[in-house]
A and B are shown apart, each in its own frame.
Chain A
Amino acid sequence: MKVEFLVLLAVVFMLVLAFGIIFFVIMYQRRIIRHQHDIRNINDQKQLELIQASIRGEEDERMRIASELHDDVGATLSSVRLFLHASAKKDADPAIILQSKDLLDDSITKIRNISHKLQPAMLLQLGLYAALQSFTAMISKPGTIAMTYHSQPIPRLHDDVELSVYRILQEFTSNIIRHAGATTIELDTAIIASTLHTTLVHNGQGLTEEDYQQQIYKKGSIGLKNIVNRLKTINATISFGQTAEGKFTITIITPLSIT
């Protein structure tokens, strides 16, 4: 009886073990599938948010251009029209004509600025290095914000890399001026081992890595989501930190070759 029992026990044990392994495989596979499904859902959600952010960013940009054209350039041109209309009634008054000329110059500058923001001609023609020099000069306003740019001349990069890096820096600079309350911004670019290292250092209230991660998953934060989109398209990485003096840094590392 003892031998019979032991043999039976061995067979039963082996079968239970076999069924156990099969059950484990089924459950484990289901768990992995569920996990992958969750990850896919999160990614889809994130992708959707990025697309929405991109669309809203585009709409905001259009609204900003429309308001700049309407409120700024439109108003100036209306004044010029009034001055010219007044001068047509009287004999030519040199003061009015000069004032009109000044207003037209002002309008031309404004239109040039808008055009430059929309399509930085310098970036397309002369490359990132020249475009960033021009951009730095445009941002700096004595008494309000001082922006400096240090770099060795950068060779021409892939169009997408140049445009994306430029737009990302535009967005970050705009955020630093509007939200961080910085008074100085230092921009550095360098080519290190087939990657472009771009660093922004400012003395305002900057973002930490944690803040950045929280912000990009939050609703809104269209600017940051656009940055994430652009970083993705050029396979770039971003990191946030602080210098010993307490200044905030943003570093973007972009591979020079795009696949």
Chain B
Amino acid sequence: MTYGTITPATNAPKQHNNKTAIHLTPEHHLDFLHLVVLLPFIQVVVLYASNFSGLLPVFTGRRLRGLLWYYCIASLVLDLVQLKVLGLGLRHMGDVFFILELLLVGFYLNKKLFTGTGKKANGITILILLVYYLADTFHKAQRRTNLEAAALLHAYFIVILFFAFVKIIKDMEYIHIQRSPFFIFCVGFFIYVSGSCIIMLFDPLLGKEYEAFAGNMWIIFNFLNFLKNILIGYSFTLKNTET
């Protein structure tokens, strides 16, 4: 999922410039100005790269057709919706995406990591999180995506992926770990959820005053999304990929 719009970044230069210019040396000031000029450009590049990077896993995993592939489809659809490529503009599209992410990736990891009671317990945890997300979203009835609840879902993924790394070390299925599709997926998704969890947690708290800064934070989010898509796309090309 890609987040952010191009508009917040237009405010960013003014705000940063006013607040920090006094403390900067002339050289630093020049560098800072460069960054300020480049920032909207970087934002646009990262936003588009992030949105269209979803095409890679959808393409490379087209023959696998597993839970992960459907997750990539959902991610790509949301990205294209956000860019208004598909001409849709659903208010709760983000919420739908996070629910799909929880179900598709959650049950994929559940299948890969757990057996017996652990599998059942994790399955129940996923359902509890789903119920919480829905209840919280309806309760708040806000006009934007429920990012606080989404941050909780990503925190859950951080914990589960930690188990995944322990399992990878324990099982030792691959001599060259970089050849393991599951490890590559875990790396991509772990980096993505680690960064996005904090960004989504703080974004609603920042408020209007820090709108420009929050906009810039989404550059990082989009970059992480880009990285995740590339790594998942790569993992689909490896042998013995199971989705």
Listed in ascending order, the chain A residues whose CB lies under 8 Å from chain B are 1, 3-4, 7-8, 10-11, 14-15, 17-19, 21-22, 25-26, 28-30, 32-33, 36
Contact = CB atoms under 8 A, between A and B. Distances in A.
B175 A33 contact: yes
Interface residues of B, number: 25
Task: Output the residue of A8, A17, A18 with the most chain B CB within 10 A.
Answer: A18
B169 A11 contact: no
Given A14-B194, A22-B190, A25-B168, A7 B217 contact: yes
B152 interface: no
Name the 7 nearest CB pairs between A and B, nearest first: A18-B194, A7-B202, A14-B194, A25-B165, A11-B198, A4-B213, A14-B198
Nearest to B178: A26
Given A11-B220, A32-B169, A18 B191 contact: yes
B191 A32 contact: no
A11 to B, nearest CB: 5
B126 interface: no
Nearest to A30: B177
B195 A11 contact: yes
B194 A17 contact: yes
Contacts of A14: 194-195, 197-198
Contact of B20 (A1, A7, A22, A36): A1
Interface string B187-215: 10011001101110010001000100100
Contacts, number: 57
Nearest to A26: B177
B141 interface: no
Pick from A19, A28, A29 the residue with the most CB of B within 10 Å: A29
17 contacts: A4-B213, A7-B198, A7-B202, A8-B217, A11-B198, A11-B199, A11-B220, A14-B194, A15-B191, A18-B194, A18-B195, A19-B191, A22-B191, A25-B169, A26-B178, A29-B168, A29-B169
B19 interface: yes
Given A4-B210, A7-B202, A22 B187 contact: yes
Contacts of A30: 177
Contacts of B59: none
Contacts of A22: 165, 187, 190-191
B172 interface: yes
Contacts of B191: 15, 18-19, 22
B55 to A, nearest CB: 25
B198 A1 contact: no
B132 interface: no
Nearest to A25: B165
A33 B173 CA distance: 11
Contacts of A25: 165, 168-169, 177, 183
A21 B162 CA distance: 9
Nearest to A29: B177
Nearest to A15: B195
Contacts of B183: 25
Contact of A11 (B20, B175, B178, B217): B217
B172 A32 contact: yes
A10 B175 CA distance: 34
A15 B172 contact: no
B197 A1 contact: no
A7 B217 CA distance: 9
B194 A33 contact: no
Given A7-B198, A11-B195, 19 more contacts: A3-B210, A7-B202, A7-B217, A8-B217, A11-B199, A11-B217, A14-B197, A15-B191, A18-B190, A18-B194, A18-B195, A21-B190, A22-B165, A22-B191, A25-B165, A29-B172, A32-B172, A33-B175, A36-B172
B206 A3 contact: yes
A17 B197 CA distance: 13
Nearest to B175: A33
B194 A10 contact: no
B2 to A, nearest CB: 17
Nearest to B201: A10
Contacts of B168: 25, 29
Contacts of B175: 33
